[in-house]
Structure 1
């Protein structure tokens, strides 16, 4: 089974967020909680459903990631783009995606 993290978009501004080990939605993928077994993935899925029902986030997904040289990398291009930041400026204090991270 691949390592997984829970991602979503914050309802207030649409910014991509990840669930950390404390149960907080954070903007930095590198501090996301990594589920490494089926029970942890199930817990992520349940947490995501509750957060969606509570109108905290939208577009909730459990995604595959891999750790390389101590850094978390989404396996899908879409998720790499989301993790690196927007490809265009649309939210205050958020810059553009790092093309090196996306292309890796």
Structure 2
């Protein structure tokens, strides 16, 4: 029996900068809190196909599990929590605002 579909966001890395990005209803953002949460499996598959076709903007596109919350989606896996916080070698990029 297949696993039930859980809420997801589409994530990737920006082609030129390498930053972690998330898909919104209108494009890409570097903030997980602005990402569009996908709750329908068929819609998520279609949106993923569209994101995969944007090879001039992003690389490494995939669906990531999230928990929808009032302040925006929260990662449910440590890898996605790590990616959402930005580079870990020293405070720059997203970590400058934490």
TM-score, L = length of structure 1: 0.78
Write the distance in 1 (CA, Å) between the matches of 2:68 and 2:12.
Answer: 20
Deviation at 1:20, TM superposition (A): 0.4
Give the aligned length: 93
| Pairing partner for 1:33 from 32, 36, 47 | 36
Question: Higher RCO, 1 or 2 (CA under 8 Å, sep at least 6)?
Answer: 2
Partner of 2:95 in structure 1?
Answer: 96
5+ residue gaps, structure 2? none
Structure 2 length as normaliser, TM-score? 0.82
Alignment RMSD (CA, Å): 2.0
Q: Which of the residues 13, 19, 40 maps onto 1:15?
A: 19
- Structure 1 stretches of 5 or more lacking a match? 99-104
Determine the structure 2 residue equivalent to 1:75.
76
The alpha-carbon deviation at position 84 of structure 1 amounts to 1.4
User: Runs of 4+ in structure 1 displaced over 4 angstroms?
Assistant: none
**Mapped partners of 2:40, 2:94: distance in 1:** 34
| Cα contact 1:89–1:95 (8 A) shared by 2 | no
